């Protein structure tokens, strides 16, 4: 049976085939409209606020969050909600501090904004480096997840699965640029929201009310504990435990640190920030955040219901469990099995195809962001000092897309057996520690200088990476040492303030000629960022 | 400094511009503070008082953690909505008026 994840279910393959054809048609349509650099990097600035909101939400509704968070709820209950809330609360911050200013100052990459009044070469080099690091870690996590998921869903061998993802996303980005990347993301977001809404509605309809669902889930968990030999009182406690926080947050420092990384990392993720350059003006940028926040919040509520639904409908059904009572295909399959329990083989196929589509859409956005950093920031602005021929810049960008896809495929295969769970939170920590402080202070502090942001951004980046390597997730889990040198789950609580402090201190001590230019440029930049005067036009035409 | 920048710096002194930036900045800062307090408060509650969140809300299975977690999600959406509402109604018109005035 296909629900076991053994062989390729025909409905899944057929629906996935339909999605591939649809996205290739979108790519073909987008390729005809992608001529200039503004088309390639920013979809010509012609995406509406509502569309961009869906695309942004799509970037956050990755396979990792749909399957991963519902799996976490399936296993531990309430803890999954704590995790998902962290991914949502960064959005208001992006809106209040960043979105409109980004749109008013930038054209293609967040480095446009970060380097607006500074010496171009050093600031863009740093921004490009941090973009590539963030994108790479995020990409590896997605590729490894994709390979394992596709092997389970379609019975494909892991390297083929990774290669298919790499080739498909290359096609979207290479030929369709940002326009195709955005519309693939929008189509997927609508499909995923539709599928998740249907699943959550079916679960709630079956139980009548959330209270009935929770009560039944507690019974199921208690019965499972009793079956393992727990005394009745202990079993009841174990059952009740899913309704409150469990082991996810261990110590207050790790909790706070991860909270900060998720909250402020969102405002520093390059593949998210670039979406604000695809809309025509600040008003559309603002609207897109409202839509994105609404959709993401709604999606996490659905995931919560889906996770609890899986506890009852999947966790008690021997069809989905192996002889040891564990989930067939691994923990991440909770939502996929639930799809089968609700809608049979056909709906299972639909949800599997949507999960695959989710991965494709997210990696395409990541790749385009990495390629823009190389071609627009490193090649055109640093190497050619802003005098690059636009056609040559586009060629560099497309070559980088191919290169990044090859690297992603290679690393995806290389990391197959590794524990990559830390990589997404590392990407968030680096974004919060390097990009966010650099952007915020360059936008809002007159005294900020080139040397300050380069030093502070570098400190944040190195510290986030270094402390993560020394933390339990890598030092103990991956490298096999006995005890971690850095005992906390996330570095952001230390690396982010260190970056802010370094920017402040180095800027204050900076009396160079460049520093005078940097400070003199503040007022005009501020007025532009507040009013949109002189903002890059809505389209490149 | 080019002429454009000089014109922008002149605008920076304009009382109407300064009033807009102050009002919008104050709103953005207060909403940011509310979100920080709401979310970090929730995280610290999870870190320091797990039993409170696990306690039954009305004698049934639903715990206090459910409405509190739901509240943080709704807070994020509501604060975003408040900002967009005020920006669309007040700030955009004010920016347009300032820009038009500066063009003259």
Dihedral of alpha carbons B46, B47, B49, B54, sign? positive
Give the separation between CA A86 and CA A99, rounded to whole angstroms.
19
The pLDDT tens digits for A23-58 are: 999 999 999 988 888 888 899 888 999 999 999 999
Give yes or no for A249 touching B (CB within 8 A): yes
Identify the closest residue of chain B to A260 by CA–CA distance. B40
pLDDT digits (tens, 9 = 90+) for A449-499: 999 999 999 999 999 999 999 998 888 888 888 888 999 888 999 999 999
- What pLDDT sits at residue A213? 95
Domain residue spans of chain A: 2-34+50-531
A55 Cα to chain B: minimum distance (Å): 17
State yes or no: pLDDT of A382 exceeds 80: yes
Q: Quick one: pLDDT band at residue A357, thresholds 50, 70, 90?
A: confident
Considering only the beta carbons, identify the residue of A82, A92, A214 that sits closest to B76: A92
Report CB contact under 8 Å: B60, A82.
Answer: no
Q: How confident is the model at residue A536 (pLDDT cuts 50, 70, 90)?
A: low
Contacts of A395 (CB under 8 A, 6+ apart): none
Chain A from 104 to 143: CB within 8 A of any B CB: none
What is the distance between the alpha carbons of residues A306 and A300, in angstroms, rounded to a whole number? 10
Comparing C-alpha atoms, which of A272, A374, A484, A357 is closest to residue A19? Answer: A357
CB proximity A89 to B under 8 Å: yes
Q: How far is B77 from chain A (nearest CA, A)?
A: 6
Which candidate, A240, A88, A455, A149, places its Cα nearest to that of B70?
A: A88
| Alpha carbons A188 and A354: distance in angstroms, whole number | 7
* Chain A contact present for B73, CB below 8 A: yes
The answer to whether A533 contacts chain B (CB < 8 Å) is yes
- Looking at the 3D structure of chain B, how many domains does it have? 1
- Closest listed residue to residue A305, CA positions, set A330, A329, A328, A335: A335
pLDDT in tens, A116-174: 999 999 999 999 999 999 999 999 888 888 887 787 777 788 898 899 889 988 999 99
**CATH classification (class only), A2-34+50-531:** mainly alpha
Nearest CB to A93 within list B32, B62, B77? B32
Are B63 and A244 within 8 A, CB to CB? yes
Nearest to B69 among A81, A240, A532 (CB): A81
Say yes or no for a CB contact (<8 Å) between B69 and A289.
no
B78 touches chain A (CB under 8 A): no
Counting residues of chain A whose pLDDT is more than 70, the rounded percentage is 97
Domain with B27, as residue range(s), is 3-103
**Residues A437, A506: Cα–Cα separation, whole Å:** 14
């Amino acid at each position: 049976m296909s629900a076991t994840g053994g062989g390729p279910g025909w409905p899944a393959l057929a629906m996935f085939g339909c999605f591939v054809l649809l996205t290739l048609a979108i790519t073909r349509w987008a390729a005809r409209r992608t001529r200039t650099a503004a088309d390639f990097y920013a979809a010509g600035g012609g995406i509406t606020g509502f569309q961009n909101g869906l695309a942004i939400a799509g970037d956050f509704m990755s396979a990792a969050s749909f399957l991963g968070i519902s799996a976490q709820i399936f296993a531990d209950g309430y803890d999954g909600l704590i995790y998902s809330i962290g991914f949502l609360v960064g959005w208001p911050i992006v809106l209040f501090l960043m979105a409109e200013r980004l749109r008013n100052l930038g054209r293609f990459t967040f480095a446009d904004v970060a380097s607006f009044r500074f010496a171009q070469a050093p600031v863009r080099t740093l921004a490009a480096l941090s973009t590539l690091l963030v994108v790479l870690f995020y990409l590896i996590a997605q590729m490894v997840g994709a390979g394992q998921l596709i092997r389970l869903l379609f019975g494909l061998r892991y390297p083929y699965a990774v290669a298919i993802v790499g080739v498909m996303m290359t096609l979207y980005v290479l030929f369709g640029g940002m326009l195709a990347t955005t519309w693939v993301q929008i189509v997927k977001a609508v499909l995923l929201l539709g599928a998740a809404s249907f699943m959550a509605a079916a679960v709630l309809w079956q139980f009548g009310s959330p209270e009935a669902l929770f009560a039944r889930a507690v019974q199921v968990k208690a019965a499972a504990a009793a079956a393992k030999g727990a005394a009745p009182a202990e079993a009841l406690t174990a059952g009740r435990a899913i309704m409150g926080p469990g082991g996810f947050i261990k110590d207050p420092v790790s909790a706070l640190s991860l909270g900060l990384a998720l909250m402020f990392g969102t405002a520093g993720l390059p593949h998210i920030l670039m979406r604000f350059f695809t809309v025509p003006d600040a008003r559309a940028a603002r609207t897109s955040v409202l839509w994105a926040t609404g959709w993401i919040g709604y999606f996490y509520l659905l995931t919560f219901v889906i996770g609890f639904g899986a506890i009852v409908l999947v966790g008690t059904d021997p069809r989905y469990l192996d002889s040891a009572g564990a989930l067939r295909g691994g923990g991440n399959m909770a939502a996929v099995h639930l799809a089968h329990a609700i809608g049979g083989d056909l709906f299972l196929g639909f949800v599997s195809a949507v999960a695959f589509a989710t991965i494709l859409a997210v990696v395409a956005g990541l790749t385009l962001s990495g390629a823009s950093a190389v071609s627009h920031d490193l090649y055109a602005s640093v190497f050619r000092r802003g005098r690059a021929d636009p056609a040559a810049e586009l060629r560099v960008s497309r070559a980088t897309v191919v290169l990044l896809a090859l690297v992603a495929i290679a690393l995806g295969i290389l990391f197959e057996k590794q524990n990559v769970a830390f990589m997404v939170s590392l990407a968030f920590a680096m974004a919060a520690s390097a990009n966010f402080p650099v952007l915020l202070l360059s936008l809002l502090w007159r005294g900020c200088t080139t040397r300050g942001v380069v030093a502070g951004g570098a400190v944040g980046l190195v510290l986030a990476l270094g402390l993560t390597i020394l933390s339990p997730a890598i030092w103990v889990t991956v490298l096999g040492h006995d005890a971690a040198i850095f005992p906390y789950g996330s570095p952001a609580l230390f690396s982010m303030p260190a970056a802010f402090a370094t920017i402040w201190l180095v800027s204050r001590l900076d009396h160079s000629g460049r520093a005078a230019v940097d400070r003199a440029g503040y007022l005009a930049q501020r007025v532009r960022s507040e009013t949109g005067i002189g903002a890059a036009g809505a389209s490149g035409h | 400094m080019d002429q454009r920048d000089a014109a922008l710096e002149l605008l920076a002194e304009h009382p109407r511009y300064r009033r807009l930036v102050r009002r919008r900045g104050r709103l953005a800062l207060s909403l940011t503070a509310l979100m920080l307090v709401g979310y970090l408060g929730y995280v610290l509650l999870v870190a320091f008082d797990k039993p409170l969140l696990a306690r039954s809300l009305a004698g049934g299975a639903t715990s206090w953690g459910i409405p509190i977690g739901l509240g943080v999600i709704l807070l994020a959406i509501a604060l975003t909505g408040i900002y967009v509402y005020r920006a669309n109604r007040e700030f955009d018109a004010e920016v347009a008026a300032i820009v038009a005035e500066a063009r003259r």
